Amino acid sequence: MYCSGCGQLLAPGQGVCPQCGRPAAAVVPPVPGLQFQLARYSGNVKALAIVWIVYAGLSLLLGFMGLAFANAFLSGEGGPWMHGPWMHGPLPPQWLGSTVLHFAWIYLVVRSGLALAAGWGLLERTQWGRIVAIVAAILSLLKFPFGTAMGIWTLVVLLGYRNSTLYEQL
């Protein structure tokens, strides 16, 4: 330990600096149970990261299936079992159906990519991962019921002074 005034090396337990007479700073005791809190918080963050990655995969898979069905339905290529209003041709304004489907594909890829990036960033415990996870949580709050649950869980685990300091210490 060194003197905060002159930089003189102090012996352990020495209360006053022998060179400048300044009182030595008191040793700050370690926070009791900090390692247990960090271990528990680390487990919460890891579980959250894994669930974000699974959520991204399921979202991509189910979205792909839904958009493939929507594409077949709107284009009239659903086969003999398809009896939709556009069975014998494309959607009346021909550009509308394909435009909506293109935006839906882009939205699906961006949403799944954001969820995957949030999970990966949380697994790696990076600062950008925490920020991406918070953004993904806020955006998924309207995706009832699973997106809402993921968003609330993420915000509870990652927001707040205590949780942000624990995350920084990971």
Listed by start position, the domains of the chain span 1-30, 34-169
Which residues are 16's β-sheet partners? 23
| Residue 89 · residue 76 · CB < 8 Å | yes
Write the CB contacts of 5 (distance below 8 Å, at least 6 apart in sequence).
17, 20, 22
The model's pLDDT over 39-69, given as tens digits with 9 standing for 90+, comes to 999 999 999 999 999 999 999 999 999 988 8
pLDDT band for 134, please (50, 70, 90 cuts): very high
Least confident range from 67-81, 113-127, 149-163: namely: 67-81
C-alpha span between 136 and 52 (Å, rounded): 9
C-alpha span between 27 and 151 (Å, rounded): 41
Closest by CA to 155, choosing from 129, 134, 169, 136, is 134
Higher pLDDT, 92 or 120: 120
Sign of torsion over alpha carbons 68, 70, 74, 77: positive
C-alpha span between 134 and 161 (Å, rounded): 14
